[in-house]
Structure 1
Amino acid sequence: MPSYTLYYFNHRGRAEVCRMLFAAAGIQYNDRRIDFSEWNGFRNKMPGSMVPVLEIDGRMQIPQSMAIARYLAREFGYHGKNNIDMARIDYISDSFFDIMDDYMRMYHDRDGRMMWDRMSDMRQRYTDLDGRMSNMGCDMSSDMRPDMWSDMRSDMRSDMRSDMRTEMQTGMQSGMQPGMRSDFTSGLSSDMGPGSYSGSYSDSFNEGVMYERRRRFMETCRRVLPFMERTLEMYHNGNQYFMGDQMTMCDMMCYAALESPLHENPSLLSNYPKLRSLRDRVAAHAKISTYFKRRNFSDF
């Protein structure tokens, strides 16, 4: 049996489906969780300067989360038995990856780096943004009509211009320094110290950027979730797994990809009962449920 080391940060993120595959198969591995303070020392050792990375026998390194997941699924018997089955598992897994990737990108800075240490704060900012959209008559749900986005965009631009004018006038009246920008226009004030949001952090989370990232994520949900609900119903009316009576990688991907979005919005699957039940079945798997009880707690 090869020795495995999985490198990732101390979060679920893009590595969690790989950890679930190890758990389901009952295979021992080194779950190497990199602290942020260590990352500069690891960066040049990782292919493409990215994680997750799977290291096999201390020699072979495989980057890219889905490449790792497919490799493990084939090794552990959680992939298809023929090319057609494998293609089905792959497109289902990739569809859920689209959701996870767009969700994670809501928390990237402008240089494409995950803002792990800022994510809890930014989640609250997205929640506040949802509230403002709701007050405008727009529900941030996966069933929102596509035409509502154009209306929302127009309304938000108008509101943002109005608020920016008001804040600029208020700042001038109160003696605001020229180098300062308001929370609304820049994400957070640009004069904050090094330990606070600054540089790419504030620029990455102005209202317009957050809105566009949120919009893209919800559009992906509206495209993928009904498609996956119908796909699941193709076998046993959707009452077992995507491939019938056997759990495979794509079922685990359904669970992993939606875990953080559901934590943020518990009603995300309210119109997709088959997917909700599938996630319950995956979580009830004996070895996976044991892993869930023991794993490190993480918001993301």
Structure 2
Amino acid sequence: MAFIWHVVLLFSFLAAAVNADMKLDCGPDFVTLVWTESRSQADPSLLHLGNCFPNTVSGMEAKFNVDLGDCDFRKMVTGDTITYTNDLTYDSTPDSVIDPFTHPVVCVYERPKDWYPVMYEPTFHTYGLGDLTFYFGLMNDDFSGPAESTSFPLGSLIRITASVEQKSHQPLLLLLEECVAATTPELQPDSNVFPIINNQGCLVDSKRARSRFEPRVKSSEIRLSVQAFRFADGEEVFLHCQLAAWDPIGLDNSKKACHYVKEHGWELLDNPSYSQLCDCCESSCKSRRARSIGASGNHGVVQKAVLKLPLT
């Protein structure tokens, strides 16, 4: 797999696990990862990166050298960056004294200036496993292309699109699980946040403003209009969302997109005749479970995304 953009970040850090060192080198179209253990009870051959096992294991060291198009890497395009994420997982044996663990693997690249999201039709007839490409960005007023404006005055509508490119996957329904505005690109326990969509898939901002979900064009894309709001004067504002790609069969109150329509109440985006699924938006809905499409019998994958909002 070849890319026309260049790497702007070589990502190397110490893993949080005790007595372990993870070194990550993000190449233009490949990843080299070396995990070194000092715990004699650990077995590095039990590590896997996504669905890939180590290329080599020597002593207490496991080495991966893989393409970004392999190993179930997830691709997220946000603003000026393209981010690839995966999980390094240790599956311990039942009699092992080393507990199973998972560490995130992240590579960040500069987005080419002429790159734009691929326009595609959902492929309802294909099934299988392949890498997912997510897109999350600001759009122009008719959602026909990226936003040209660099600022949004108070009260104007900010158009946002989230989508997932299905490729060889089964049909996917793209949902926004939760969105909050914050003044930092990373959320902390004490972060000052402004809720847009709660963790029940309900667009709570539609009750107090003109924010709304726009009609779908395809199941693998969701369009959101958010009314520009006053939040943390003089500070940058970032929109933090969880994008969920789900098996579209059977909406229920644990996976849905609801917004509030004046004089009608809560309405289900994908089928207003089943808007009773939104009744719990005023109380508490069954919590969503993040599940991996790559595992047998599972029906979805969740991807975190951050978007800078140029509010004025």
Of Structure 1 and Structure 2, which has the larger fraction of its residues in helix? 1
TM value normalised by structure 2: 0.23
TM value normalised by structure 1: 0.23
